[in-house]
Every structure is written in C-alpha cells, then in structure tokens.
Amino acid sequence: MNSKAQTGTAQILDGRKLAAEIRAELAAEVSELAATGLVPGLAVVLAGENPASVSYVTAKEKACAEAGIRSFPHHLPADTEQEELLRLIEKLNHDPDVHGILIQLPLPEGLDESALLRAVVPEKDVDGFHPVNIGKLVLGEEAFLPCTPHGVVTMLQQAGIATPGKHVVIVGRSNIVGKPLANLLMQKNLQADATVTICHTGTRDLAVHTRQADILIVAAGRPDTVTADMVREGAVVIDVGVNRVPDASRKSGYRLVGDVDYGALLPRVSHITPVPGGVGPMTIAMLLKNTVLAARRLAGGEQS
C-alpha cells in the first residue's frame, strides 16, 4: 500500500488513503467471516455529550457500518453512576455478539476511568488499554495494541520508513499515545528497534531533544508545540495532535490543527502527517482491525 503523496519538498503521509485501503481489506475479511456465521461486533460506551467524543463515536459507528461490523452503541447521560457503567460492561463482557468493547474517553468528572477500563475483559479490550494488554505490549508478547500508536507504526511501515537504529523522539507521555508508542518502537524486531526518547512538560529545553530526532512524533495536545527551528532538516514528523483554533472564515467558527507548525515544517522535513487526514483515520482503522481480530480469537480462529 502506498500512503504517500508529493507536496513541496516533504512527502505527505496520507492517513485517509491508507486507512481506506485497510478498511476495504477488512470489509472483505468481514464478508468472508459473515458467510461462516461470524459477524464481528463492537460495543461503544459513551457517557455525556462531549462534542469531540460524540464526533469520534459517530465516525467509529459509520466506519463499522461500512466494514460490515455490527455496532452496539450505548450513549448514556453524563450523570450516569459508576455502578451502572460497571453493570453494563459486565453485561457486554458476557454478550456473545459483542467481540470488542470501547469506552470512549474522556469520561465525565466523577467516574473512575481506571476501574472502568479494567472491568473490560482483556479478550474484548480492542482499545488495548487493559493492564493485561499493556503488560503484554511491554513484554513484546502478542496483544491488542492501542489504536493510535498502532496506527502510527503502520503508517511508518507502509511509507517505507525504517525504524531500526533510528532516534525517535516522542513529545507526550500519555497512557493512550506516548507510553505505549515508546514501548512499541523500542521492541527488538524489524518493525521497531529504535532508540526512543520521551519528552514531556517537565523536559528542559525541548528543542535540544527534538532537533536530534530522525523521527519526531508529537502528541502534546497544544498547537505550535513544535516550530520549524525545533526540527532537524530531513526528519520525519508525525503529528498526533488535534486542536480546535478560532477561525472566523469557517462556518463552524474554528479549524483543526495539529501540534506542529505544519506550513513552516513542509519545506524542511522529508515526511509529515497532515491534520486532519493523518493519524486520526488510522486510529479508527486499527480499532476495526482489533475488533475483527477479537472476533476471530473468541471464535477460536486464527490469532493474527
């Protein structure tokens, strides 16, 4: 699969195109499974009306429908009690039609995110957030991989960007992106084997570290965290951030930007992901891939 398009001096890593190719392959696989009586099913649990979360869930449900995956939406009010959510998760854990369970984050204030994520059985943890799956990831064992890190690694592989021996600098240490991505890229295999540095809010002189990166991955959650002078010429830049900034020219009143100064980096780097249209679509594609894999495993089928 080729996920690259040429623009200026940088190659744009087109996440939409690559994700569409992966989803088409998954749709064909789901169709074959359905012919045997196995239809992968994904339950999505959303509490509250966070606009970004509602948008993400809608996109995930649409992607499921296009791939032939059954979607089981559970949209609950923001004041839903912890015990009610735990009962729902327990029910889904035992539902044979549900192969994957996704709890949309962030959760409303007052809910124990950690306890709810742990309540999902590891076999249905298609987000890859359960401690069992995270532990297996760290040990290099087969596990459900967190969707965004998996999407980033897949983009690098499909673009022909080798990571063995490369210095990867990750800006951001979240449990969703930074930490699992670092563990994925430091594994001893041909798809990883990188030297990884993690930077965060406590890092002194961020630019000293980012300028050393062969591959710079930014997941800070803040626009313009990385500017052109902070990146080595010819580096690969993966922008995981999605931020809303005011834009009076748009009907919505805002536009989406990443965590790097995209326009300024274009003439300086070798490869870069756009926002939107970069890592985001890959996250959803990896969620669908995990759901199909979960269905196969729970049905006693192939393991990868």
How far apart CA 80 and CA 112 sit, in angstroms, is 12
Please state the pTM of the whole predicted model.
Answer: 0.93
What average pLDDT score do residues 33-59 get? 94
Residue 103 host element (H or E): strand 100-103
Report whether 146 contacts 282 (CB < 8 A): no
How far apart CA 92 and CA 96 sit, in angstroms, is 8
Return the CATH number of the domain spanning residue range 146-280: 3.40.50.720
Tokens standing for 30? Answer: 């789901």
Please report, for the chain, the start and end positions of each structural domain, with discontinuous segments joined by +: 38-122, 146-280
Report the relative pairing of strands 41-47 and 100-103 from DSSP bridges. Answer: parallel
Task: Share the mean pLDDT of the chain.
Answer: 94
Q: What percent of the chain has pLDDT over 70?
A: 96
pLDDT of res. 13: 98
The residues with which 169 forms a beta bridge, in sequence order, are 197, 216
Q: How far is CA 264 from CA 19, 55, 172, 188, 303, in A?
A: 26, 29, 21, 34, 44
Active-site residue set: 60, 104, 127
State the fold for domain 38-122.
Answer: Rossmann fold (3.40.50)
The residues with which 43 forms a beta bridge, in sequence order, are 72, 101
Residue 304 reports pLDDT greater than 60: no
